[in-house]
Structure 1
Amino acid sequence: MKDALFGGINAAALTAMTADYTPDLDRYAAHCNWLLANGCNGLGILGTTGEANSFGFEERKQILEGIIARGVPATKLMPGTGCASLADTVELTKHAKAQGCRGVLVLPPFYYKAPSDDGLFAYFSEVVNRVGGGIAIYLYHFPQQSAVPFSLDLIGRLLKAFPGQIKGVKDSSGDYANMKAMIDNFAKDGFEVYSGSDEFVQKILAEGGAGCITAAGNVNARFGAIVYKHRTGPEADAAQAVLNATRKAATASPLIPGLREIIARSTGDSAWRNIRPPHLPLSAEAGQKAWDNMQAAGALPLPGLSMKAAAE
């Protein structure tokens, strides 16, 4: 897909925290800038991997403002702004627009289960109308987590009602047939489809999708960049094989604590293990397993990061 706002490889970035669980803006901004220098076209921040729903409303604003103030380009950021509350979703989206972000990733209202398409249409209509123009809305399709899927019929209605404002989707369902159906039905209208699963990067690009927004991008984005550049051929195929292996390695452990462990060991910075309950850091044994799996996948060492903590 040409001219996609976030076309390419986007990491769903981990959020750095201090020992008392407050956002660590210096450490986080440094990680974001490292990702952008090592294969990422953009960053999905404050999503599932970024533990958005473990942070309060004002904290989420503080995080976005803080990393922009520390040199992370707002135009490269797709913050998660979807909340159970309509008012909070609107306010966080307006805030992202005011900071200069080009798009936001919006979960459906996830507390009440099995809402109708009419109810979801009404919700997103209110979001778009209250926010106004000037920022693109990306739908976050992750039914395993939210329990509220986006149907093709609903997406079609939203695109018809709000052309150019409902801009795309991140599909974290793992169901490639669903991603392909979104591409087939809506890509012709400029609707950007991003995979949340690394194993689909090469395939989705070939079939008209825009790229990916993935948790494993915290460690494998440089291989995604090769796939995005070359698309086909031996170099792209080899890089896609590493994406597949790193995705498998990342999901063999609890995803967020496992990725934090990889970054902690790669940087020699144990603060990356800080994680808000109910998540917990990995045990020493589980941490070693996560490290060994990622090393076997071919993603390590991470360029530009110290390896001194490998034996911790």
Structure 2
Amino acid sequence: MTARVRGVVAAITTPVTEAGHPDIPRFLSRAQRLLADGCDGLNVLGTTGEATSFSAEARESLTDAVGRSGLPTSRLLVGVGAAALDDAVRLTKSAAANGFGGALVLPPFYYKAVADAGLMRFFDRLVTATAAEAIPLYLYNFPALSGVTYTPALVEALVAAFGDRIAGLKDSSGDVPYSRQIAAISPDLDVFPSNEANLGLAREGGPFAGCISATANLNSADCARGYREGDADALFRAIAFRNIFDGLPLVPAIKAMVAHLAADPAHELTLPPLAPLAAEQRRELFTRFGALGRLEAPVALA
């Protein structure tokens, strides 16, 4: 059995063309760089990767390109969440066919306040339709955007019903007690908070499998040193770097910083409905970055 993804996982941005398609050469170059700079894995086509702004066809084209690229796909998770079950099935099958280490599943996110019974039906059909591929499924809990929470009771029911197909959960709620509660459901459930501050707990054999973070696009080297070597200074720097994005639109700000550090403005392009940072937001971001006092920070360039 292939080892499961653990440790420092960057929620990689998706470079886009002027026409709004995935910029596959830039994406593959960036993925290689992030892995070389210390990431244990990557989360492809997550929120930071603007997954839900792409068509299913565009998402599948990127998944297929990654599968052909020679990248270690067993170390990559890919977002397959969709409002339509058929799209989620299609994307999960594509992830499996391309050897990804897991499929990250948002709950179907248009209807709010849905009953757990409805979510169980969704997963029953997803698991059944992908039984031949049997790729591990990771739940993606981001209620601030999806409007639907993977409650502890629901996660427990999913694990009881579908066993090791439910491999873990990524929590972007920022609620560490919630993450701990989910991790306590089963020792086989890999839980990834989204904040680098939890890497210390993961290293010490705590309840978490690592961290899936947007800012690991930029501070992966420090994250890796903090996680693998217990370097407290490196972890402190990684957390300080994360804090410069507070209060700013996260995805456009991450892409602006990637573009700046890579000296490649094309990385800053976003898909509607996201817009590039406004001028005052850019000034604030780069003022904060300059205040870190480490313009030669270990960052992942393109």
TM-score range, shorter chain: over 0.9
In the TM superposition, 1:49-198 aligns within 5 A as 49-132=48-131, 133-186=133-186, 188=187, 190-198=188-196
Shift of 1:6: 1.0
Distance 1:267 1:57, change over 3 A: same
Shift of 1:241: 1.3
In the TM superposition, 1:146-295 aligns within 5 A as 146-186=146-186, 188=187, 190-206=188-204, 207-231=206-230, 235=231, 237-295=232-290
Distance 1:261 1:161, change over 3 A: same
Deviates more, 1:263-272 or 1:241-250: 241-250
Distance 1:304 1:289, change over 3 A: closer
**What TM-score do you get using the length of structure 1 for normalisation?**
0.90
Shift of 1:195: 0.8
Distance 1:306 1:166, change over 3 A: closer
Shift of 1:281: 1.2
Shift of 1:240: 2.1
**What TM-score do you get using the length of structure 2 for normalisation?**
0.93
**Aligned counterparts of 1:46 and 1:229: Cα–Cα separation in 2:** 26
Please report the RMSD computed on the Cα atoms of aligned residues, expressed in angstroms. Answer: 2.0
**Aligned counterparts of 1:70 and 1:292: Cα–Cα separation in 2:** 37
**Aligned counterparts of 1:45 and 1:181: Cα–Cα separation in 2:** 26
**Aligned counterparts of 1:29 and 1:221: Cα–Cα separation in 2:** 17
Contact kept? 1:137, 1:166, Cα under 8 Å: yes
**Aligned counterparts of 1:300 and 1:182: Cα–Cα separation in 2:** 38
1:310 aligned partner: none
**Aligned counterparts of 2:135 and 2:47: Cα–Cα separation in 1:** 21
Aligned-residue sequence identity (percent) comes to: 36
What secondary structure sits across from 2:57 in the alignment?
helix
Distance 1:182 1:305, change over 3 A: closer
Gaps of 5+ in 1: 308-312
2:30 pairs with 1:31: yes
**Aligned counterparts of 1:40 and 1:34: Cα–Cα separation in 2:** 9
**Aligned counterparts of 1:114 and 1:302: Cα–Cα separation in 2:** 44
Q: Deviations over 1:250-282 (max 9, x none)?
A: 234211111111111111111111111111112
**Aligned counterparts of 2:159 and 2:3: Cα–Cα separation in 1:** 16
